Amino acid sequence: MSILRDYATLRAANTESTRRLLRLAADATTPLHYVSTLSVAPPARHRPEVPEEFLPFHEGLRNGYQRSKWACEHLLEQAAQRGLPVTVHRLGRVLGPARTGYVNERDFLWGVLRAGIPAGIVPELFEDEVWTPVDFVARSLVHLCLRRDDGTAGVFNHATLPRVRLADVYDWVRAYGYPVRVLPLANWRERLPRSADSAATTLAFFDSAEDGPDGQGGATDLRLGHVRADRVRAGLAGSGITCPPVDRDQFFRYLDHCVTTGALPAPNTLWGAG
């Protein structure tokens, strides 16, 4: 789902499809589990904590993807208030399986890396964020969906792993062999070559966010406050479902995949590498 699309183009795929699912579920009071995103939460500068509960509309909902997912949650909240057993599962940045290192090249952050690494420059974006391998997400979702107790309804923030620091990510990129420098976002945007498709798409996102109050686009403030995940931890307790934190070795597997598929050049082929 592209973060560049506006709400109107996403309404049918996200909001209206959720409305239809709710109608189907309501006919037989069937429990409904909905996969949402932590990006519906306000940035840390507006709210220091992300609760496991439905959220009111806020000015941090800047792009169409965020607005459409929040609208879906709002429909689910209304259904829950009418007695329908609905559960919302909010995910952070979902990574490929830990074993294979698969990378979704359309992911926003990987778009930034694919654009910046060949140019030798990467931007300051956020301090840290929630990363979760998809295989762990899948096991967690299935376990929570199959539970039969009353505690399954409501909101679950799938954020049980330690948050990944962007500074560490850039250190891992360098350790892999890419000699990147970190620049302020505005400088990075000015200096990044626009010839590559990945660069053009990534820059288009920042260009669409220029109306923010900080001069670099409020929509680029991706920092979230403390994400509560008490209900997820309680729901997974005793299940045996665990996942190691994303570390350098795991990140190297993602970079290996990018090199193998041609999404990134091998480190030793870049000017100045080695």
**Residue 2 belongs to some domain of the structure:** no
**Residue 274 belongs to some domain of the structure:** no
**Residue 98 belongs to some domain of the structure:** yes
Q: What is the pLDDT of residue 204?
A: 63
**Residue 187 belongs to some domain of the structure:** yes
Q: What is the CATH number of the domain that holds 219?
A: 3.40.50.720
Weakly modelled stretches of the chain, pLDDT under 50:
1, 4, 211-219, 273-274
**Residue 221 belongs to some domain of the structure:** yes
**Residue 1 belongs to some domain of the structure:** no
- Give the chain's domain count: 1
Other beta carbons within 10 angstroms of residue 259's beta carbon come to 15
This prediction's pTM:
0.87
Q: What is the pLDDT of residue 8?
A: 67
| Helices 17-27 and 64-81: angle between axes, nearest 10 degrees | 20
**Across the chain, what does the average pLDDT equal?**
86
**Residue 78 belongs to some domain of the structure:** yes
Q: How far is CA 95 from CA 47, 61, 103, 243, in A?
A: 26, 23, 7, 12
**Residue 176 belongs to some domain of the structure:** yes
Structural domain harbouring 171? 7-269
Strands 128-129, 226-227: pairing is: unpaired
